Structure 1
Amino acid sequence: MPQAGYPATRLRRNRRADWSRRLVRETTLTPDDLIWPIFVIEGTGERSAIAAMPGVDRLSIDLAVKAAEHAATLGLPAIALFPNTDSALRDEAASQAVNPGNLVCRAVRAIKAEVPDIGIICDVALDPYTSHGHDGLLVDGEIDNDKTIEVLIAQALVQAEAGCDILAPSDMMDGRIGAIRAALEENGFTQTQILSYAAKYASAFYGPFRDAVGSGQQLHGDKKTYQMDPANGDEALREVALDVAEGADMVMVKPGLAYLDIVWRVKEAFKLPTFVYQTSGEYAMLAAASERGWLDRERVILESLMACKRAGADAIFTYFASEVAKRLKDAR
C-alpha cells in the first residue's frame, strides 16, 4: 500500500519519546532468549580464567552447580556444558566420550540434582576427547564419517542417561541426526530433544573456544572437510532440510553475526526453532574492544544480540547470557 509522503508522514514522530519507541518496537530480547555456555573442569572449588575470553572462567563441577543456580534465578531457560578433558585422558578413539563417568556426565548429574528445572544442553562431538582435536575419528589421515557416528551414538546415550535434556550434535557428520534419534527411541529416551548444529561453518571465530576446551593445541590440520565453507548459503538449507527430516527438534547456525543471512534464510524456509551461537571469537572481540574503551559494552552487547533476534533466531548461545539476563531483569 502506498504511503503518504512528507510532511504527512514523519517517521521521527514514533522515535521522539522513550515510551513511544518502546511501544512500536518490533523485536524484543528477554532472558528466555538466552542460553549460557559453561566450561567445566575437574577439581573442587576450581576456577580457571580463559585468557582469550576476558570474564569467562572454566569451573569445577561444584562451581558449575552454583552457576546453574544463578542462571535459574535470572530466568535463563537453559545452560550448555562443555568439558575441558585432561589431556592424559584424550586418545585417538575418543574413549572418554562414551564413559558414563566422564566429566560432563558427572556435571549433568550434579546440576540436575540441585537445579532440576533448568534445561541442560550437551555437545555431541569428539573434539574434547580426541588426541588430535578433531570432531570425528581419523582413519588413514581422514575423518571417517560412519565410524564417527558409531561413537557419537554411544556418547549421546551416556549423556541422555546422565539426564541431559537436549543433545546438540556439533560434529557435522552426514547422517548423524537420524542415527542418534533412532538410538534414543530404541533406548527409551523418547523425550530427549535434539538440537542439530545443522549449519556450522569452518570459521576462524572458534579460536578462543578451542583453547577453553583444550582442543586448540591438539588440532592437527583443519576442519574444512566436514564443517561448511563460509562462501555457501544454499548448502546450509540442504543441511537443515536433511537434519529436520532425520528428526532434529531444533537447528543451529554457527557462528552468529557474520552469518545472520543464513539465520534469516533458515527461519524463513523452515519455520522451526532456529538457534544461533554467538561464538567465542565474537565474544572476545566485543569484550576486548569494550575493555579498551573503544566500544560501549552494554550497548554493543545488546545490539549484537538484538541483531540475532531480528534475523529470526529464537534463542542465542552467548557468553554474555548471565550479564544480559541480570540487566534485563533489573530493568523490569
Structure 2
Amino acid sequence: MSYFLRKLGFYAVALWAALTLNFAIPRLLPGDPVDILLAKLQQRGGTVSPETREAYSLLLGGDTTEPLWMQYVDYLKNLFRGDLGVSVSYYPAEVSDVISQSLPWTVVLVGLSTILAAVLGVTLGAFVGWKPGTWLDSLVPATTLLAAVPYFWLALILTYLLARVLGWFPMQGGYDVTLSPGWNAEFIGSAIHYGFLPALTIVLASLGGWLLGMRNMMVSTLSEDYVLTAEAKGLSPRKILRSYASRNAVLPSVAGFAISLGFVVSGSVITEQVFSYPGIGSRLLGAVQNNDYALMQGVFLFITLAVLGANLVVDMLYGVIDPRTRARS
C-alpha cells in the first residue's frame, strides 16, 4: 500500500509543477493576446478604447496589471471551475468548447492507431524474437525502415497512391461535409472512410519501433535462467512463450505504450495537417500561428493530464504485474 501512496504523492507534486509551468510559459512569450484581438476588431471597423481593452483583458483571463501571484491564484481557481478562457483564434468560443469539439477526433484516430500498432508490433515481435534467425527476421528491416520515414513524406506517398491514383480514399478532411455529424451509420462510415489514410500512416510509421523493441527483449529473455528451467521441466513451447518469456519481455513495451497513449491527446500534428484532419493537432498549430495563448495553455493542460494519467496507471500496473517493483521501492 505504501508503494501506491508514494506514487500518488509523486504524481500530485508533478501535476502541481506542470500546472505552474503551464501558467508561467505563456506569460514569458512575446506578444499580447489582447492586442491581437483588438487588432482584429480594428480590421473589421470597430472602435478601440481603454474600456474595450479592459473588457477584453478580463474576458481573456483576468487583469494582467495584477501582481503575478494574484494572477496565479486566479488561474488555479479558474482551472478548478473548468474555465480555460476564451480562444483568440475562434473568438468568441471558449477554449473548453474548441478542445471538446476536436479532442474526440484525435482520440479516436491516433488512439486507435496507436493501440493497433502496439498490439501488432508486440505480437509480431514476440514471435520473431521467439525464433531468431528465421525468415521472420526479414520483417524487421522493412518495418524499421518505415519507422525512419518522416510522417509527412509517408502521408504524401499514401495519399498519392491510394487517393489520387487509385481513388480508394478521399485526400483530405475528416468526414463528408454534406452530412450532419451524429451517431448514425452514414456519418460513422464516412468518418472511418476519411480517417483510414491518416490511421494507416500512423500505424505504418509506428509498427517498426514496437516490433524491434519486443523482438530484442524476447531474444534477451530467452537466455534467462527461468526460461531454461521451464524448458528443462518439459513445458510446452506455447506455455513458455506465453507465461514466461513474453510476459517478462513485454514490461518495457508497457511503459512505452503508456507514454505513447498519453501523447495521443497532442495528436499527430503533421499527419493531421497533411490530411486537413479536424483534430487537436490542427488546433494547436493554429493556436501557435495566431499567438492564441489561452488555447495553447488549454491544449498543453490536456496533454499534461493525459501523460501523467497514463504513466500513473502503468506505474500502478507495474506494481501488480511485477512484485519486485514494490520490493525495490
Same fold (TM over 0.5): no
Q: Bigger radius of gyration, 1 or 2?
A: 2
What TM-score bracket applies, with the shorter chain setting the length?
Answer: under 0.3
Taking structure 2 as the reference length, the TM-score comes to 0.21
Say which structure is richer in helix.
Answer: 2
Return the structure number with greater relative CO, CA threshold 8 A, min gap 6. Answer: 2
Say which structure is richer in strand.
Answer: 1
Taking structure 1 as the reference length, the TM-score comes to 0.21
